[in-house]
A and B are shown apart, each in its own frame.
Chain A
Amino acid sequence: MLFNSLEFALFLPIVFLLYWFVFNKHLRLQNFFIVVVSYVFYGWWDWRFLLLIAFTTLCSWLSGVLIQRYQEQRDSNSTQINWAKIVSATNIILNLGILGVFKYYNFFVNSFVEAFASFDIHLQPTTLYIILPVGISFYTFQALSYSIDVYRKQLEPTKDIVSFFAYVSFFPQLVAGPIERATNLLPQFYQKRVFEYDKAVDGMRQILWGLFKKIVIADNCAVYVNNVFDNYELHTGSTLLIAAIFFAFQIYGDFSGYSDIAIGTARLFGFNLMRNFNFPYFSRDIAEFWRRWHISLSTWFRDYLYIPLGGSRGGKWMSVRNTLIIFTVSGFWHGANWTFIAWGLFHGLLFLPLLLAKKNRKNTNSVAENRLLPSPLELVQMGSTFLLVVIGWIFFRADSIADAINYIFNLLQWGTFRAVYRILFMPEFIFIAILLFIEWIHRIKGHGLDLNYIKSKPIKFLIYYTLIFLIMKYGGKSADFIYFQF
């Protein structure tokens, strides 16, 4: 079920009312209700994959129980085989195995075949017709973090299977994140939720802002972007540049819009999800961009890959190696294509100079803090960071690395920058300008429509109705969320 659909517009109020008025008497019943509606939400897309998510959840829950039991036994008898480690490793292999089969099997087969073909050895591969289950990368990582945290003794394993199923399948963030940690979300299922007016109102605002970003920004930009990227050879440099810029806003509107709707929806049900985006296009360098973009994934890789690999503890070169590894893996996480790997590596290479110069934590505050406008230097920093990010997005969006490189070469034609002023007269640009203006005002707030500081109700209502009107009037052609495929 898509957030931007009439089905969800009916589903949400029904679930909301049942949750607070019918199932609010017993916590366990309320959690069970969350599992049921989450499975309905997911099964709306394809019910067959409910078995897969149920299997993943069950394995991770069992692994938690077993890890604790074996750890207790080993604590009393240290000579015993480390079964806890074996169970944890098995669960990781199982989860990554499922992810690998569904997401990467054909990619690896085809890559091997191509590699052998370059040595004139022609293999007859067996590729499978595999449908990628929506959101598999998200819930797999969420389930993995639980068993790893239990193994590390950072989290007490839960015996409450209903709460655990609710944690993995919680519908607002099930298919496209934020990738929640069990340490943050799971305990919230143990506590009785109390309806809070301010939290619910803010949640509704965040949903509205998310819908604006998805429906007005992303879906409108998508039309132009798809037309250009699908036939990039036919277009001039300025058109290619505009399409690349629009794609930067399409993917931001699409993904951060989803996160806003997810976080806002969770707030309606009394849950706090982690922040996933923090106005990334106002970043002054790439390191800051990665502290503000897809935060739940970046921190996941930091905690479960970068640090276990040694992080920056082994000196400069180990730090460089580990940085390149997590950026590359992060790229690969997005999809089974060399373009994603190139995108990750590209960002890793942009990050390295900052790391080596120890300037990767230079910009940890908000830009133009306590000021209305940025300084000229900050403006240049933000603009150059944005342009680098846009180049990265070309790799991300292109069908192949060759296409991405050709796209960039074609973009750098004579006249590219002379004709790019056309963007000022495009409706997509006006929507983007509205987005940037509102986000700039709220850049130190929790989200783009954090209006708690406005006391006047008429003004608030005016803002709501304006956004709703824009969504209804200028809503682009309804499209799936890009990140569903990841």
Chain B
Amino acid sequence: MRKFLLHLLYVSIPFLGLIVSFLILDPFKIIYHYDNYIDNSNVVPNRDYVSTQYFIDNYKSYNYNSFMFGSSRTAGIYIDDWKKYLPNNSSPYSFDASGESIYGIWKKVRLLDSLHVPINNALLLICPTTTFQQEDNVYTYIGIKHPSLSNEYVKFYKIHLEAYLHPNFFIPYFDYLLFKKYKPYMEGVIDLRSVNYVEITNDLRLVHSDLELQSDSLDYYKSRENLFYSRNFSEIQYRQQQLSVRQKMMLEEIKSIFIKHKTDYKILITPLYDQIKLHKNDSLYLHSIFDNIYDYSGQNSITNNRYNFYEDSHFKPYVGRIILSEINK
């Protein structure tokens, strides 16, 4: 038996080493506590974890009472810009996540309610392509929700460990860690692009795109010609119906929590380059639940102009300022 266990240990050494390195290096920044999730991190983060953990760590210090929910489309609306339209005592927070779904927004609103955090103001960004894509948690290390939201603690750490143990992750990860040189095969694991999260407000800024635009805006769009395809619609285009029964229930609960908190909310259906509107029934349902819905999807002055977008899905902050001024008239 001793010999067998020793042999098993020899065979297992590389894997045990990997597991130990996972625990020590904490590549996803999910094991230890961090004041800042940006510094010294070249690994694509789970944005939901960062937003939620940062909130849990700081909500008592900063007395957050106003929240912006949504996916990375929130990068188009700076918290500082939104704050101009909020009452003086507001302390806004960008509670976003990558590819945020209505499930994630629902869970976040519920978390706020359970923690007795006041939700005085809310700006809810509904992306026609992502918000209603999922009605449950997403089991990828980028997509899985913070366990405080989902209550799936074991699954959360399991998904991250499994992702780490995959050669497609740990080989580029160690390669970069040791040699500090980015190689094309590391794409998707190592991200050296400069993305900035503003301290306190957790505001997402696509700095890398802004820098690229500043250096040569013509080349920026030329290199993304394939993303800005031609759209010659003779009539209004609608997406397929997306809202499920469960998602409707989530929307209703969000509304009831807003009512409970007397929240001054606004629902923004974000502009997308594809100019395809939400399905009429989905739009009607949203209007039956919420007031203050502002729909910027489909054909309009914002979506007509490709230069209003970083690529086909993220609108620029100056567009956000235009939208804010319009919806707060």
* A→B interface (CB under 8 Å): 6, 20, 195, 197, 200-201, 204, 461, 464-465, 468-469, 472-473, 475
Interchain nearest-CB distance for A18 vs B (Å): 13
Q: Complex Cα distance A29/B250, Å?
A: 50
Please name all residues of chain A whose beta carbon is closer than 8 Å to the beta carbon of B10 when the two chains form the complex.
461
Q: Which of B1-56 contact A (CB under 8 A)?
A: 1, 3-4, 7-8, 10-11, 14-15
Please name all residues of chain A whose beta carbon is closer than 8 Å to the beta carbon of B168 when the two chains form the complex.
473
In order of increasing CB-CB distance, the 6 nearest A-B pairs are: A473-B167, A195-B1, A200-B4, A197-B4, A472-B167, A6-B158
Q: Complex Cα distance A20/B158, Å?
A: 28
Tell me whether A472 and B166 are in contact (CB under 8 A): yes
Name the CB-closest residue of B to A478.
Answer: B162
Please name all residues of chain B whose beta carbon is closer than 8 Å to the beta carbon of A464 when the two chains form the complex.
11
B186 at the A/B interface (Cβ < 8 Å)? no
Please name all residues of chain A whose beta carbon is closer than 8 Å to the beta carbon of B11 when the two chains form the complex.
461, 464-465
Where chain B touches its partner, the secondary structure class is helix
Please name all residues of chain B whose beta carbon is closer than 8 Å to the beta carbon of A475 when the two chains form the complex.
166
Please name all residues of chain B whose beta carbon is closer than 8 Å to the beta carbon of A197 when the two chains form the complex.
1, 3-4
A197-B4, A473-B167 known, 9 other contacts, Cβ within 8 Å: A6-B158, A6-B161, A6-B162, A195-B1, A200-B4, A201-B7, A472-B165, A472-B166, A473-B166
Please name all residues of chain B whose beta carbon is closer than 8 Å to the beta carbon of A472 when the two chains form the complex.
165-167
Name the CB-closest residue of A to B1.
Answer: A195
Name the CB-closest residue of A to B168.
Answer: A473
Tell me whether B167 and A204 are in contact (CB under 8 A): no
Tell me whether B167 and A469 are in contact (CB under 8 A): yes
Interchain nearest-CB distance for A463 vs B (Å): 11
Interchain nearest-CB distance for B170 vs A (Å): 9
Interchain nearest-CB distance for A477 vs B (Å): 11
Interchain nearest-CB distance for A199 vs B (Å): 10
Interchain nearest-CB distance for A195 vs B (Å): 5
Tell me whether B7 and A465 are in contact (CB under 8 A): no
Name the CB-closest residue of B to A21.
Answer: B1
Name the CB-closest residue of B to A469.
Answer: B167
Q: Complex Cα distance A360/B80, Å?
A: 82
Please name all residues of chain A whose beta carbon is closer than 8 Å to the beta carbon of B14 when the two chains form the complex.
465
How many A-B pairs have beta carbons closer than 8 Å: the answer is 27
Interchain nearest-CB distance for A400 vs B (Å): 27
Q: List 27 A-B contacts (CB under 8 A).
A: A6-B158, A6-B161, A6-B162, A20-B1, A195-B1, A195-B4, A197-B1, A197-B3, A197-B4, A200-B4, A201-B4, A201-B7, A204-B8, A461-B10, A461-B11, A464-B11, A465-B11, A465-B14, A468-B15, A469-B167, A472-B165, A472-B166, A472-B167, A473-B166, A473-B167, A473-B168, A475-B166
Please name all residues of chain B whose beta carbon is closer than 8 Å to the beta carbon of A465 when the two chains form the complex.
11, 14
Name the CB-closest residue of A to B162.
Answer: A6
Please name all residues of chain B whose beta carbon is closer than 8 Å to the beta carbon of A473 when the two chains form the complex.
166-168
Please name all residues of chain A whose beta carbon is closer than 8 Å to the beta carbon of B166 when the two chains form the complex.
472-473, 475
Q: Complex Cα distance A222/B162, Å?
A: 21
Q: Complex Cα distance A146/B213, Å?
A: 76
Q: Complex Cα distance A461/B162, Å?
A: 23
Q: Complex Cα distance A313/B178, Å?
A: 74
Q: Complex Cα distance A465/B15, Å?
A: 11
Interchain nearest-CB distance for B71 vs A (Å): 24
Please name all residues of chain A whose beta carbon is closer than 8 Å to the beta carbon of B7 when the two chains form the complex.
201
Q: Complex Cα distance A275/B1, Å?
A: 25
Name the CB-closest residue of A to B10.
Answer: A461
Please name all residues of chain B whose beta carbon is closer than 8 Å to the beta carbon of A468 when the two chains form the complex.
15
Interchain nearest-CB distance for B16 vs A (Å): 12
Please name all residues of chain A whose beta carbon is closer than 8 Å to the beta carbon of B3 when the two chains form the complex.
197
Name the CB-closest residue of A to B158.
Answer: A6
Residue interface mask B305-318, A partner, CB < 8 A = 1:
00000000000000
Please name all residues of chain B whose beta carbon is closer than 8 Å to the beta carbon of A469 when the two chains form the complex.
167
Please name all residues of chain B whose beta carbon is closer than 8 Å to the beta carbon of A461 when the two chains form the complex.
10-11
Interchain nearest-CB distance for A117 vs B (Å): 32
In the complex, which of the residues B1, B14, B158, B161 has the most CB atoms of chain A within 10 Å of its own CB atom?
B1
Residue interface mask B160-201, A partner, CB < 8 A = 1:
011001111000000000000000000000000000000000
Q: Complex Cα distance A6/B15, Å?
A: 13
Q: Complex Cα distance A469/B14, Å?
A: 11
Interchain nearest-CB distance for B154 vs A (Å): 9
Interchain nearest-CB distance for B40 vs A (Å): 27
Please name all residues of chain A whose beta carbon is closer than 8 Å to the beta carbon of B165 when the two chains form the complex.
472
Name the CB-closest residue of B to A24.
Answer: B1
Please name all residues of chain B whose beta carbon is closer than 8 Å to the beta carbon of A195 when the two chains form the complex.
1, 4
Interchain nearest-CB distance for B183 vs A (Å): 17
Name the CB-closest residue of A to B167.
Answer: A473
Interchain nearest-CB distance for A398 vs B (Å): 28
Q: Complex Cα distance A204/B5, Å?
A: 12
Please name all residues of chain A whose beta carbon is closer than 8 Å to the beta carbon of B1 when the two chains form the complex.
20, 195, 197
Name the CB-closest residue of A to B161.
Answer: A6
Q: Complex Cα distance A195/B4, Å?
A: 10
Please name all residues of chain A whose beta carbon is closer than 8 Å to the beta carbon of B162 when the two chains form the complex.
6
Q: Complex Cα distance A200/B3, Å?
A: 11
In the complex, which of the residues B3, B4, B10, B14 has the most CB atoms of chain A within 10 Å of its own CB atom?
B4
Please name all residues of chain A whose beta carbon is closer than 8 Å to the beta carbon of B15 when the two chains form the complex.
468
Interchain nearest-CB distance for A46 vs B (Å): 18
Q: Complex Cα distance A197/B166, Å?
A: 30
Q: Complex Cα distance A195/B1, Å?
A: 7
Q: Complex Cα distance A464/B11, Å?
A: 8
Q: Complex Cα distance A20/B10, Å?
A: 20
Interchain nearest-CB distance for A179 vs B (Å): 29
Interchain nearest-CB distance for B247 vs A (Å): 23
Q: Complex Cα distance A197/B3, Å?
A: 8
Interchain nearest-CB distance for B289 vs A (Å): 31
Please name all residues of chain A whose beta carbon is closer than 8 Å to the beta carbon of B158 when the two chains form the complex.
6
Name the CB-closest residue of B to A268.
Answer: B4
Q: Complex Cα distance A201/B14, Å?
A: 19
Please name all residues of chain B whose beta carbon is closer than 8 Å to the beta carbon of A200 when the two chains form the complex.
4
Interchain nearest-CB distance for B1 vs A (Å): 5
Name the CB-closest residue of A to B2.
Answer: A197
Q: Complex Cα distance A20/B8, Å?
A: 15
Q: Complex Cα distance A461/B1, Å?
A: 19
Q: Complex Cα distance A464/B165, Å?
A: 17
Please name all residues of chain B whose beta carbon is closer than 8 Å to the beta carbon of A201 when the two chains form the complex.
4, 7
Interchain nearest-CB distance for A337 vs B (Å): 29
Interchain nearest-CB distance for A303 vs B (Å): 36
Please name all residues of chain A whose beta carbon is closer than 8 Å to the beta carbon of B167 when the two chains form the complex.
469, 472-473
Interchain nearest-CB distance for B130 vs A (Å): 22
Interchain nearest-CB distance for A311 vs B (Å): 45
Interchain nearest-CB distance for B157 vs A (Å): 10
Please name all residues of chain A whose beta carbon is closer than 8 Å to the beta carbon of B4 when the two chains form the complex.
195, 197, 200-201
Name the CB-closest residue of A to B3.
Answer: A197
Q: Complex Cα distance A469/B18, Å?
A: 13
Q: Complex Cα distance A465/B12, Å?
A: 10
Q: Complex Cα distance A70/B169, Å?
A: 65
Q: Complex Cα distance A473/B171, Å?
A: 10
Q: Complex Cα distance A452/B162, Å?
A: 32
Q: Complex Cα distance A444/B165, Å?
A: 35
Q: Complex Cα distance A218/B8, Å?
A: 26
Interchain nearest-CB distance for B56 vs A (Å): 26
